[in-house]
Structures are given as structure tokens and as C-alpha cells.
Amino acid sequence: MEFSADQIAGILNGEIQGNADITVNDLSKIEEGRQGTLSFLSNPKYEEYIYTTESSICIVNKAFEPSKTLPGTLTLIKVDDAYSCFAKLLELYGNLYKKEPGIEKQTHIDETASIGKNVHIGSFTYIGKNAKISDDVVIYPNCYIGENAVVGKSTKIYPNVNVYHDCKIGSNCIIHSGSVIGSDGFGFAPDEKGKFQKIPQIGNVVIEDDVELGSNVSVDRATMGSTFIRKGVKIDNLCQIAHNVDVNENSAMAAQVGIAGSTKIGKNVLIGGQAGISGHIKIADQTKIVAQSGIPSSVKKAQTLMGSPGIPLDDFKKSYFGFRKLPGLLKRVQELEEKIEALTKV
């Protein structure tokens, strides 16, 4: 589909500088701009590219004033916040590919399952007994929705997602490909011979509204009770959430984070990639954990932690400065020891 600069400015309430009739049919980064595409500029680091880009339209902040001559084929749309306006356009662009309601061939939907209005269910998807699929849900092909599972209104589930029995997903959630919700928690107990015996995991997973899970995320079901992913949580690809964990509202974690069993993550906590968090601890609201950090004990007040074990960021920087100097200090100690040894022989 093609959109003119005039149409885009109308959507964004922007001001046009250039040809209002010029049209675009695709999006591109400003440094990779092509004719017929729309780009944006909000970060000054990328300003140099606006003077060479081949994009037809670029969204910029109202405060932007070019320091060089712009390409003659480029039309500007000035808005209050270029970044948020471009995000709005991306959302509209994504809606162009929205699945139409309907149930494709070769799906299995149990006769006891409840299917809402305007639902799309892709081929080779399995919907189990007493499952409830709410209105406006989109489920892509090759998904499994187990017995008594619930999927809330307007949630989107991408291909190859498995939602085990009794698990609940709220409204307006996005679950990306390969994620598993409700697999067994890692519960084993050694017997008198040292052989591990499996502890049945009879709980479930509860995912509240407005949650997004990246691809290949595992959220384990509780041993008893529920594993909770609260409202507004965002989880990146390849994360592991163990049994009985509670991730509170509007917290976010980057890829490859692992959270061990029964840990409670507070509200608005930010966790960097590859961080590991021990089990049965609590992380205070507003805490920030730097990538690759390890958190072995509870964090009682909001702070930024780094290292393994995680310590306050300023302390880590001071410690790291000392660590970098350690080879030189060891050399000096060795030299002093040699001098002392030589003096004691005199």
C-alpha cells in the first residue's frame, strides 16, 4: 500500500516541508534509505545520514534544523517526538498484516472448548478440552493449547508455542515462537540410594494482561499454586522462569536471563542479558541488574547491581579498577620480596 506525505502528516499531526504528494510504500533505516521508503531521525548521532539518504520521506523533531543541504528528493514531516511517532507508524504498518478471523483447515478443536468472536486459528493447532479462547485472539499454526487453558482477549500467539494444561494468559499479550508456558518445574528429590525422584508439579502459570514473551522463553508451572508473570512484564528471547517465580508489574529482562524457583521480582525491575538470580529470594522494586551479573541473595532496596555476586555499581567500578591494577601490584610485591631476600642474606 502507498501513503502520501500528506496522509502520514495527518495521522501524526505533523508539518510538511517539501512535496506533500510524494508517496512511500515501505520503511527503512535512514542510513539505508531507498526511494519510496519512509525513515525517521531522532538521535543526533545519525544526523549525518539525512544529508545523503535516498529515503523519500523522513520524520524529524520540530526542533530539527539542517546544518547542510538536504537531498532535493527528500520531504520532511516535523512532529513533536519523531521516535514515538515512527513507533506509531510501525504499529499501523504491522496491522496491515493482521490475520483475518477464521479457522484454517487441519486444526483440532475439542468440542468442549470455547472459542470467542473474531478469532483466527492456524493450521495444525490443537485446542484441548475445556480450553477458552477469548475474542479477537490470533493463534498461528502449529500451536498447542492444553486442557482448561485460557487465552485472553486480543492476545497473539505465534507459531510453535505450547501452552500446557490449566495455564492462563491474559488480554493483549504477545507470545513469540517456540515459547513454552507451563512445562514442569525442575523438582527432584534424591531417595536413600541417591536416585532422583520426580516431584509432581501440580500448579500452573498465570500470565496477566499486556505481557510480551520473546521466542523460546520457558515459564515453568508451579509445584503448587501459580508461577506469576504480572501485568505489563516484557521478557526477551531465551529466558528461563522457574517454578513459583513471581515477576511483578512492568518489569523487563533481556535475553538469556535465568530466575530460579520461588524468587519474587519486584515492580519495574530491569534485568540485563545473561543475568542469573538465585532461588527463594526477593528483588526490591525499581532495582536494576547489569548484564551477566549474579544475584545470590535478596535485594532489600532499589539500587543498580553489577558483578557476580552482584554489588552496587559504584563499588563494582572501584573494585574493577583495583582488579586491573592487580598484575602490576603483584609484580611490585614480587620485586620487593626479592629485595628483602637479598638484604637478609647480607
The catalytic residue positions are 243
Q: How many residues does this entry show for the chain?
A: 346
Q: How many CA atoms lie within 13 A of 10 on its CB side?
A: 7
With CA atoms as reference, report the closest residue to 170 among 230, 214, 129. 230
Distance CA(165)–CA(167), nearest Å, equals 6
Q: Which residues pair with 121 in a beta bridge?
A: 103, 139
| Angle, vertex CA 156, rays to CA 247 and CA 95, nearest 5 | 125
Q: Which three cell numbers stand for residue 257?
A: 536471563
Q: How far is CA 284 from CA 59, 152, 234, in A?
A: 39, 29, 17
